[in-house]
Amino acid sequence: MTDQSRSIEALEDALNAMLLDNEDITARGVVRRMSGVFKNASDITRHPERRVALERFQARQAELRKTMEKTDKESKTALSAKVARLEAEVARMTHQRDLLIASHKAMLLAVGEVGGMKAWKKFFDRHQDVVEQLQKLGAMPEAEVVPEPAKPGPEEW
């Protein structure tokens, strides 16, 4: 192997390392990276084989950076769209829950008005955990139990 082919091989190794490290590939950068092998940037740019290698790696780096930038933008856009979709779904579900809670309260009040609360409570006595969860959600109407006024007896007629 000649000195020239060894220097091209060493140059390509350095260029590949710069590419992997995402370090700007320039003739001066290569001189810094390969301290002692080349003295000046022109040692690379004036030699046709070295210049071709440098230009080839610069083109690869530009292509890689363009692809990375495009991927990052698409990912951010997709992520933003997903977040917006999930926020809308949470808002929709929150609205549905609030509607169901209001409906549940109204249903319990209606059942209570027609005298069915005793039957409802009898059913839920076996499911106290459900009653507690409904209370935490605010789905249970809060009302005072007021005894009915005494019905007039026959002596009051």
- Report the chain's mean pLDDT, rounded to a whole number: 84
- Rounded to whole angstroms, the Cα distance separating 124 from 50 reads 85
Query: Is 103 contained in some domain?
Result: yes
Residue 23 domain-assigned (yes or no): yes
Q: List, for residues 107-134, the tens digit of each pLDDT value.
A: 888 887 787 777 777 777 777 888 788 8
Note whether 16 and 4 are within 8 A (CB): no
Domain of 53? 3-140
What distance in Å separates the CA atoms of residue 148 and residue 114, rounded to the nearest whole number?
14
Q: How many domains does the chain have?
A: 1
The verdict on residue 89 lying in a domain is yes
Its pTM stands at 0.49
